[in-house]
Structure 1
């Protein structure tokens, strides 16, 4: 399944209009900034304005970036370290190096336009860059429900109005999936997961199921016999949601919280 990707060009660092799709959680918006920055500065900029530098999951997505140029979210700590994506520090499972790449002692990745191949470069060099806005993020790391919640709330956060304050206003959370369109979109995305089930923001508190955003579970599409107190989205079962022990480890969905939270 290929994510829907929309690419915007920002010459003056003005935020673009978003794409419209039936599901409020899609699509993936990619924003190109025609301004030279170091990889680290570009990462900080993307995390402040969007979610992070762009992540490319597979060859289909890579082809969508054929015309694009600039820093990607791909990096490594040193020449002996694995390549990771900036968003969530996930190990990269798809890489499209050009011939004779990667070079030693160059630890950040970028691409030229009109090619699907990537090169690595010195992270302190200045290049244009690509940011991503993704309302529903599939994190293909295995974490407990509580660890997944902490991970989601670390994404895309911004400091409070007082820069010296330690208050962290998280803009992402474990996913709330209320509408039928969002659930269908999430199940389609879940087919890429490396686990059979994916953690969601469902949690059993008191005698009811709630989403972590505070909304109650309005339908009956979840087993009444509790096998656990945390909710998963099933990839292929006839029931969409299931219950599991919160200490088990699975992939998980983060989502961008509505602006009125």
Structure 2
């Protein structure tokens, strides 16, 4: 009993915030049009560079040694609402008749959302790791939406996201408790830009007043300056470019958990460990292409200590279990249990007998 308690305490002590870049970036110092660059990247790597967050952006920028560089963002004909932080806009809290126009940014007004001109100046709310009570910071300065976004990213995390009803209620309580009146910017915006690899990433890092679509056909994105900020430009111009190579690979073979583990270790590095929300978002992108209802992860249950662990050695600190799963109260008289992620729905983790035959995700993280 004492040994089990010691092991549990050791696991808790080892939990820490872990950041990693989901992709490896490759700067190609050859001038090509955007389409030619896309073709090159798809042949040699995975695709033209996708960027999910500032960690990715900083890593990409390390590989670039000149300005005017293509990345994998291209304008389409489909507008959609999304969050500045990169979270998908699954929960919607529009006021009646909203959105009602062509405005591309959103404000919180009386507990609900309204579309609003991005060029207007308003106060705003940032998400922050410094305020442990709410995770929110009200900035009592008026800025345009994109300037507010830059301020939040430089001083906190990002403009606030509202991913579910609970977060919406928490935000409104924060507004009431802080005696904030009038409209405030939130991190919701819409655009028609899409990543070349079809990623659902909504991260954008435009230079101020960009994209401006000069002459109506600036439909491709480039890195414009040494800070790594982006500009829209004519796709037929020739620039160097950045490719990315995915760290996670979906294998569409139906194997048991042990067979999947062996395959990944022989052909890549390991079955994937999902030890952060960042990696979970990448997993959510990958599993959409699966041919089974669930996909193996490198997650294993130990009956000895009644805990789940990652086979790569990381502890299970970040968690994304579906209700009723991951409790540790597994039936140890039956087949050993291993962890999988749902390929549809909320794409949460579930406990499955290791003898099930599923697709799986290999990782190239060292």
What TM-score does the superposition give when structure 1 sets the normalisation length?
0.52
Shift of 1:55: 1.1
Partner of 1:186: 273
SS at match of 1:188: coil
Aligned residues of 2:50 and 2:199 also touching (Cα < 8 A): no
Q: Aligned residue pairs: how many?
A: 181
1:99 corresponding residue in structure 2: 208
Tell me, what secondary structure is at the counterpart of 2:56?
Answer: helix
CA deviation vs aligned residue, 1:169-220 (integer Å, no higher than 9, x gap): xxxxxxx55579734x52125554359989597969xxxx997xxxxx9997
Quickly say closer, same or farther: Cα 1:219–1:72, change in 2 above 3 A.
Answer: closer
Aligned-residue offset at 1:123: 1.2
Q: 1:186 aligns to what SS in structure 2? A: coil
CA distance 1:102–1:136, shift in 2 (3 Å): same
Q: Distance in 1 between matches of 2:298 and 2:239?
A: 48
Counterpart in 1 of 2:347?
Answer: 250
> What does residue range 96-135 of structure 1 map to in structure 2 within 5 Å?
96-104=205-213, 105-135=217-247
Aligned mate of 1:44, from 24, 35, 39:
39
Unpaired runs of at least 5, structure 2: 1-17, 80-190, 253-259, 303-318, 329-336, 350-359
Cα deviation per residue 1:135-194 (whole Å; 9 max; x = unaligned)?
315xxxxxxxxxxx7xx77xxxxxxxxxxxxxxxxxxxxxx55579734x5212555435
The 1:219/1:29 distance shift into structure 2, 3 A limit, reads: closer
* Cross-structure match for 1:84: 194
Cα distance in 1 for partners of 2:281, 2:237 equals: 35
Determine if contact 1:108/1:122 at 8 Å carries over to the other structure.
yes
Q: Which has the larger radius of gyration?
A: 2
| Separation in structure 2 between the aligned mates of residue 49 and residue 195 of structure 1, nearest angstrom | 21
Change (3 A) 1:95 1:246: closer
**What is the root-mean-square deviation in Å for CA atoms of aligned residues?**
4.7
